Amino acid sequence: MKESDPPIPTAERPPLIEFRQVSRIYGRGLAEVRALDRVDLLIQAGEFVAVMGPSGSGKSTAMNILGCLDTPNAGSYRFRGVPVESLDRDQRARLRRHYLGFVFQGFNLLNRTSALENVELPLIYRHIPRAERHQRARQALAMVGLTGWEHHTPGELSGGQQQRVAIARAMVTQPSLLLADEPTGNLDTARSHEIMDLLTGLNRDQGITVLMVTHEADMADYAHRVIHFLDGRVADTRPETEAA
């Protein structure tokens, strides 16, 4: 497979992501921990889904598998109908680069690098020419409301602005799925709602599927659907109108 080739084939109109009896087990014997225990999960393209649950419930493990940062011990994870466990390491890396965007609680920006350069990073890994990188990064920053802030470093930006840069970096590759892990965890209430309005707009206007882990019920209210994890299993899944 060449770098220019799509990383995976695409089945006709399958769910975007699907877990079929997925288990992730760490340790053996008395030290065994079932982080995920035969989880079934179905998410359609264009959904905005919030994932909630106490610490140790399995939600972060599920996100790591969805992001191709971990693999299940049993069961199948399918992306657009294709079993991800059948892909080799390079193919999974290409899936991440071409289809997935990541936003984290801690922003994960390079401190001595400008906002524009931070947003360009994923395009460097994809060997995009410099002029095109600059153009696409500027467009992504404009999309999150940061026109004029391109040359500011993270230390010159507020927490909300830093998270906007992180979202622009995730969106600059035009992913199919945005994985957001506690994206408002380090922000005050006003900035949190600004970020949620931004994510909602990207989902609504650009059709980006958003899967967000959060501990905050008022942030989960922005989602179309809320999935609750408990003890490595899906304990409950509800539409927004019932979850609010």
Tokens of 92: 């999974």
CA geometry: angle 25, 214, 121, nearest 5 deg: 85
Helix runs in 43-188, H state only: 59-66, 89-99, 115-125, 130-143, 159-171
pLDDT at 10 over 60: no
E-assigned strands of 27-107?
A: 33-43, 48-52, 74-79, 82-83, 100-104
The C-alpha atoms of residue 44 and residue 67 are separated, in whole angstroms, by 16
If you count them, how many residues does the chain have? 244
What global pTM score does this model have?
0.87
Burial class (CB in 10 A: 0-12, 13-18, 19+), 4: exposed
Round the average pLDDT of the chain to a whole number and report it. 90
Structure tokens at 137: 């990064």
Fold for domain 17-107+177-243? Rossmann fold (3.40.50)
Residue 207, burial from CB neighbour count under 10 angstroms (0-12, 13-18, 19+)? exposed
Can you give the pLDDT at residue 73?
Answer: 93
pLDDT in tens, 54-107: 999 999 999 999 999 999 999 999 999 999 988 999 999 989 988 999 998 888
Is the CA virtual torsion 222, 228, 234, 235 positive or negative? Answer: negative
- Distance CA(225)–CA(211), nearest Å, equals 10
Closest CA to 59 of 165, 175, 169, 181: 181
The pLDDT, as a whole number, for residue 3 is 47
Q: What is the average pLDDT across 139-144?
A: 95
DSSP code for 177:
E
**Please, which pLDDT band fits residue 1 given cuts at 50, 70 and 90?**
very low
First to last CA, the chain: 46
Quick: pLDDT tens for 115-125. Answer: 999 999 999 98
The pLDDT tens digits of the residues spanning 20-50 come to: 999 999 998 888 899 999 999 999 999 999 9
pLDDT band at residue 8 under the 50/70/90 scheme:
low
CB 183 within 8 A of CB 195: yes
Give me the percent of the chain exceeding a pLDDT of 70: 92
pLDDT in the model for residue 39: 96
List the domain boundaries for the chain.
Answer: 17-107+177-243
Of 63 and 1, more confident: 63
In one-letter notation, the amino acid at residue 50 is A
